[in-house]
Amino acid sequence: MELHALSLDDQYNKLIDGLYQNGYCVLDDFISTDTCAGILSELQKEQTEGSFHKAGVGKDAEHKIVHTIRGDYIKWLETDEAHPHTNLYLAKLQELRQVLNRQCFLGLQDIEVHMTQYPAHSGYHRHVDAFHKDDNRCISVVLYLNFDWLESYNGRLILYPDVTPAAPIEIYPKAGRLTLFESTLEHEVIPATQKRYSITGWMLREKRFF
Ligand code: OGA
Ligand code: MN
């Protein structure tokens, strides 16, 4: 039993308020410790079995792998996979998508999600998630899976909100923490001294056709 955990409605309201007021929101304990531990072990099993690949940058014909820009390894997820803990999280994301549609009329049709692992000393240069020539990605959403993470490990996500005066926001990748931000917001991942695990996803304006 987690103390001081917010009710589901309070969690969703906090995320929506933050998104509307600032273009981002950080929420701790979005997922329980047990479920996070389960998701992490499902991720590590997939990685041991060799289902991860090096992530690239750009889409379709513009896709390329550039180690100096982006150092993570990923595995894309589908809803019918046998990951009971990860699927609990995916169901919660779908519910959040529906709440966003009901309360904010965003008309989000789909989500796309991958498991993510940054090896030690790798990060992701400052970028936006919405692809050039394709604005299907509307909201980026990252769930962190790193237990006992110390600030001295670094691995911060830095967001650069589109406001004046712009003060960068620094977020450590602690287990159970969810970060939601507009996909047009610039951000970067600072390398960590340890492996860094997360589930990364996007809420999409249109359905995927694959
Ligand atoms: C990404 C990304 C942020 C993070 O995968 O596009 O920016 O904190 N991730 O892992
Ligand atoms: Mn990104």
Please say whether the beta carbons of 178 and 141 come within 8 A.
Answer: yes
Distance 183 CA to ligand 2 centre (A): 8
Distance 4 CA to ligand 2 centre (A): 30
pLDDT at position 67: 67
pLDDT at position 41: 98
Q: pLDDT tens-digit profile of 54-75? A: 998 777 777 776 667 899 999 9
pLDDT at position 58: 78
pLDDT at position 178: 98
The domain segmentation of the chain, as residue ranges, is 8-204
Q: In terms of pTM, does the model score above 0.75?
A: yes
Supply the residue whose CA is at minimum distance from atom 6 of ligand 1: 129
Supply the residue whose CA is at minimum distance from atom 5 of ligand 1: 200
Distance 189 CA to ligand 1 centre (A): 6
pLDDT at position 141: 98
The ranges of the chain with pLDDT < 70 are: 1-4, 65-67, 209-210
CATH 3.40.50.1220 fits 8-204, yes or no: no
b (16+ CB within 10 A) / e for 29-53: bbbeeebbbbbbebbeebbeeeebe
Question: Which ligand is closest to the CA of 118, given by its number?
Answer: 1
Distance, in Å, from the CA atom of 116 to the CA atom of 123, rounded to the nearest integer, reads 12
Distance, in Å, from the CA atom of 36 to the CA atom of 145, rounded to the nearest integer, reads 6
Supply the residue whose CA is at minimum distance from atom 8 of ligand 1: 157
Burial (Cβ within 10 Å: 0-12, 13-18, ≥19) of residue 129: middle
CA angle 46, 52, 54 (to 5 degrees): 160
Q: Any alpha helices (H) in 23-171, and if so which ranges?
A: 33-48, 84-104
